Every structure is written in C-alpha cells, then in structure tokens.
Structure 1
C-alpha cells in the first residue's frame, strides 16, 4: 500500500526555517544528499505548497548545468525534473513542466491519487503538512533533524487539537550530525473478545 510521507529538514528546536525564511543552516553534504536521492527517486510524486514549490523550481530544474555541481546535486536535478509534482495553491497562475496545479486539498482526491500512484507520495512544506495532518492524510513522518538551535523561526508544524500516536520505525545518524527520525502513524488495532 502506498503511503503519504511528510519529509522535512528541521532544527533541533523545531523550526523549518529561520526568521528571515533562511534554510542556509541545513547541513546537506554528499552522504546525506545521496541518501535522500535514493529514497526520493522511487517516490510517486512530490506534493507541495506554493512557497516550497517555487523555492525548488527556482533552483533544481537547471542545477545540473553548473560545472561545479556535485554528483548528488546533478542526480537530484534529474529526479526533480522527472518526478510528477502536485502544487497546492490558491494564488499561483501556472506551474512548470511535470506539475499539476490544484486549488485546495480535498481528502478524497488525495486518497485517489495515493491509490493510483506508482510509489509513495512526499509532502513538503509546513503549511501543507498542517492541512494534511488535520485531514488525517499523513502515514509517515520523516524528519531530518539538523544539529542547530535557531532560537526562533517558522515551526515545522502548527499545533492541532487532535493527538496522533506514532511508532518509531527508523533512526539514522549521518556523519555531519543530522539525525533521521522516521515515525509511522499508529493505526488503531481492533481487539476481539473470544
């Protein structure tokens, strides 16, 4: 069964980006980038909000044309261009190649996309993550925790009233100090008396 995976890099104190929107504190070296590429290459689609999509689209379509680009950078540029993308935005006028513009998140439509996808779907961006969480659409949380305390910035997830129970299914520490925390949403078990 396909899953919807929230995939984010966050600071140790829980921020997605700094006060000024910066992400220059991300420690993405070749080891981490190669790991991410291997996981992302087999996904079925990237699901993104407008801001995340625009940031990615600004750089990745031509990143492999830079003669100084590392091997993992060249590889991800190819992954980015080839991967289907769904962009959720009420304000965007258009999106680039291999992308579909959707005006709002409709639970049934997302579930239909999940059922027909060739691989897991990756959700990127904190606003979209909050919406997907509220609608009960996230199956897995994949957080790459960077060894930095930002002190302030934009939180990776806004508070919600509902509690979500998770099971830790993987951890991995990279040489640069980044730690992967992978949790799956716990599905309620049915107990029968018999």
Structure 2
C-alpha cells in the first residue's frame, strides 16, 4: 500500500492559518523549506485542494525560471539550489487536485501533470492511489479541508505536523470538529536552526462518527 502523507505547518495553539486565511505569522523559514523538499523527494504523487494548487502553480514555475524571485533566496542566495529543486519536483510530480471548481485551463504550465478529481469521486480516487504499489508517497501539502475529510474517511496514513512558535489566537483550526482518529507518535525533532518542532504520527485507525 502507498501511504497518504500529510505535511503541514501549524501554530502552537493549533491553527494552520489566521483570520481570513492569513499565514504571515506562521514561522516559514529555511528549515521549513528544507522539510518540504525532503517530503517531495519521498513523494510519487501530490494530492492537493484547489486553493493550495492555485497558489503553487502561480508561484513555483516562476521560481523554476529564476530562483532569485523568492524572498528567501534574496535573503540567502545559497538557498537557490533548494528552491530550484523544489520547483522542479513540484512541476514533475503527478498532481491530483480534488475540487469542483478548477478546469484544465487553470493548470497552466502544469497541465500535463495535473488530474482534476471532483469531490464526489475523491474517496474512490484516493483509495485507488493508496492501492498502487511503490512509486513514493501520496503527499498532501496545505489543503486542510481536503485532508480533514480524508482523515475522517480513514484515508490518511501519516501526519507530519511542524509546530511553530506562534499563537494565532483565531483562524483555521488544523483539525476540524468531528474528525476522530487514533494516532501513534513515531518521532519528534527540532528543526536545525529553528524553534519549530516536527511531530511525526501514523494513523492507526479511524473510528466511525
């Protein structure tokens, strides 16, 4: 079975975004970028919601063409290689977008590697991805609405939660109400040069609502 792996940044008080979807107070640093690349290297498919996909396709092709457009690279030119590889892997990996709103035209330069799945078909599509043998993880970045639904349906296998030293006070909670799951802690680590702590959990089973 191919695992569905969620990787997300969360505040200390449990939010993935502040009011209005604001993520500016979450600690996005070089260690966060390195973690994302590590997860991409282990991935065989990207599984995304429409909002995250649109953000990625609007950003990473430009970075692929010129890493210096990234503020992180402007601050530290030595990060150019990391951002270039991240952009390349985002472009090359097969991408499955779960949403009723996008069209193939929204995929732009990623059209050849993007498949759009309607919400009604999402569980069956993800179950089929999990049945594939080898080829790397099915990786979910961001996309909290999507992975919250998949977690409730028993279709998430691992969670990498990067807990940052910020209190947002309000906003979009990492875990929506009514999503029961039994988790097992597999590892913890403090990222190098960062005050963020990575928690790695596997999902043992999901109890019915």
Q: Same fold (TM over 0.5)?
A: yes
The answer to whether residue 163 in structure 2 is matched with residue 145 in structure 1 is yes
Q: Give me the whole-angstrom Cα distance separating, in 1, the residues matched to 2:150 and 2:31.
A: 30
Q: In 2, are the aligned partners of 1:30 and 1:72 still within 8 Å (CA)?
A: no
Quickly say closer, same or farther: Cα 1:186–1:79, change in 2 above 3 A.
Answer: same
Pick one of 112, 124, 131 that aligns with 1:108.
Answer: 124
Higher normalized helix content (fraction of residues): 2
The answer to whether residue 89 in structure 2 is matched with residue 79 in structure 1 is yes
Could you tell me which runs of 5 or more consecutive residues in structure 1 were left unpaired when the two chains were aligned: 189-194
Q: Give me the whole-angstrom Cα distance separating, in 2, the residues matched to 1:152 and 1:144.
A: 18
Q: Displacement, 1:187? A: 4.7
Q: Give me the whole-angstrom Cα distance separating, in 2, the residues matched to 1:142 and 1:134.
A: 17
The answer to whether residue 56 in structure 2 is matched with residue 56 in structure 1 is yes
What residue number does 2:22 align with?
22
What residue number does 1:191 align with?
none
Quickly say closer, same or farther: Cα 1:180–1:67, change in 2 above 3 A.
Answer: closer
Q: In 1, are the aligned partners of 2:27 and 2:166 still within 8 Å (CA)?
A: no
Q: Displacement, 1:173? A: 0.3
Q: Give me the whole-angstrom Cα distance separating, in 2, the residues matched to 1:155 and 1:22.
A: 12
* TM-score w.r.t. length of structure 1: 0.88
Alignment: residue pair count: 187
The answer to whether residue 170 in structure 2 is matched with residue 170 in structure 1 is no
Q: In 2, are the aligned partners of 1:3 and 1:120 still within 8 Å (CA)?
A: yes
The answer to whether residue 49 in structure 2 is matched with residue 13 in structure 1 is no
Q: Give me the whole-angstrom Cα distance separating, in 2, the residues matched to 1:66 and 1:92.
A: 27
Q: Displacement, 1:136? A: 0.8
The SS at the match of 1:2 is coil
Moved more, 140-149 or 24-33: 24-33
* TM-score w.r.t. length of structure 2: 0.82
Which deviations, in whole Å up to 9, do the C-alpha atoms of 1:115-148 show, x marking residues without a partner? 2261111123110012101211011111111110
Quickly say closer, same or farther: Cα 1:100–1:67, change in 2 above 3 A.
Answer: closer
